[in-house]
Amino acid sequence: MSEVKILQSVQQFMARQHGHFIDGKLVAAELLDKVDIVNPSTEQVVTQISIGSQQDVESAVKSAEHAFQNAWAETTPYERGVKLNKLADLIEQYGEELAQLETLSTGKLINISRHLEVAQSVIFLRYFAGWATKINGQTMQPSIPSMQGEKYTAFTLRQPVGVVAGIVPWNFSLMIGVWKIGSALTTGCTIVLKPSEFASLSLLRLAELAIEAGIPAGVINVVTGKGDTGQYLIESPLVKKVSFTGSVPTGIAIGKLAMNSDLTRVSLELGGKNAIAVLADANIDEILPTLLQATFVHQGQVCASPERFFVHRTKYDELVDKLSKALSSFKIGSAMDERSMFGPLSNQPHFHKVKHYLDMAKANNQIIAGGEALDQTGYFVQPTLISFKNTDDPLFSEETFGPVVGIMPFETDEELMQLMNQSRFGLTASIWTNDLSKAFRLIPKIEAGTLWVNMHTFLDPSVPFGGVKASGIGREFSDAFIEDYTELKSVMIRY
């Protein structure tokens, strides 16, 4: 029996009446309306969450503002780092519990929840904790002529912006929530998280662990709900920065709201129609396992995953053949079954969206492998390979955010660059070749915020991540996040 037994602590957590986590404790929601949390593998309701009202949001924001001005402001950078490391320890300690909450609510394979989401959350949070004592300004010597006998000096300060609104998507709610928490708390900010209505459980539990880690009440707050709840949060006058991860249309709407709210600063990590280039010298047998993992992890519901394969014509037939055979061998099953290689899509609306694209490809005779929604309980579709007919094809340009990959041959480098850059998006891309000199020549020509060579969908906390064009504004990780979460204050002194 490989179906994972649900922990008693998880059963108890899901049996609760879930409100919001505000000022260090679970509080009842103002509204009686609830949202069902549905297990994507079984389509059964596992629990319910509350819908946050404007009053709920303002309570959370006021709590965050009070903590920012008081308890968190009085916490030294060293102490901030210690507390974040303690929270990372607790994520590790309660990792199985958090992994099961993620899998039961989002359909992520249990081993992906354990070994990717929980494990990476620990690594990233510890990385952020290390930055807490290293956020500094600069000193400089002014260049303008001074009056006789007068001297000048100047320096800069990095100061936290204040209360952050963190809008978290459903695909990796725990890990992306941790990214936002780590960025905010490391720089001295406080945060109100609004997770997706499909994936709120792990962040509600994480907020409890934060109190156990010694993080003061009000520093991390979680208000659950739908789009209106997020809008209330963005429009709050006490919110000084919005960090959003999600779709392009929602990101554009959030950017407009933020600009209309006294020019609230905003960072957006949005979608992509990410491309890979398989060059003529690539060894298909060597690259195939990595390609499969990068493309179909979490059923392709990863913003950085590739959806467009451009393959040199001499390698095209070989890759199509071997990729098709590999996809047909995937064991599709329950996300809580450790034997499953491929689980369900995360929620019903997204299932219908992906099915629409599959139906479109089927109608146009583009299906090479897969292409079916399974006739069984759960939001299951087959991993799918399609052919791109031309660049006007909607499947060429629109993000499916699912296990649907299009493939097209190319012959020249010029044709390849035109195909890769023919997109409104620019999040990630990759080149697969043994000729690094050619890779170095192509890298500057590719319009993407993150580019890999002989790898894809690989994020590291020391490397900045973000998109160009319609794929976003701002960068996460490395030291790049500091710019988004701090204000730069310039000081000049005459003496």
> Across the beta sheet with 239-245, what order do the strands follow?
25-27, 20-22, 220-222, 190-195, 163-168, 239-245, 265-269, 472-473
For residue 453, what are the β-bridge partners?
431
Beta strands in 185-279 (DSSP E): 190-195, 220-222, 239-245, 265-269, 274-278
Kind and range of the H or E run holding 357: helix 348-363
Torsion of CA 468, 472, 477, 479, to 10 degrees: 70
Our answer to whether residue 97 is catalytic in this structure is no
Say if residues 264 and 307 touch (Cβ distance below 8 Å). no
Q: Which candidate, 178, 188, 192, 177, places its Cα nearest to that of 124?
A: 178
Q: Which distant-in-sequence residues (6+ apart) come within 8 Å of 371 by Cβ?
A: 358, 361, 362, 382, 384, 386
Q: How far apart (Å, rounded) are the C-alpha atoms in residues 134 and 156?
A: 14
> Cα-flanking dihedrals φ and ψ of residue 150, to 5°?
-105, 150
Give the type of residue at 299: Q
Collect all residues with Cβ–Cβ distance below 8 Å to 161 and sequence separation of at least 6: 187, 189, 240, 241, 265, 485, 486, 487
User: Helix 201-212 to helix 95-106 angle, to the nearest 10 degrees?
Assistant: 160
Q: Which of 120, 107, 114, 460 is nearest to 299 (CA)?
A: 107
Catalytic one of 97, 197, 208, 269: 269
Question: Which residues lie below 8 Å from residue 355, measured CB to CB, with a gap of 6+?
Answer: 373, 381
Residues 95, 5 contacting (CB under 8 angstroms) = no
Distances in Å between the Cα of 468 and the Cα atoms of 53, 245, 263, 421, 452 are 34, 14, 21, 11, 15
- Active-site residue list: 269
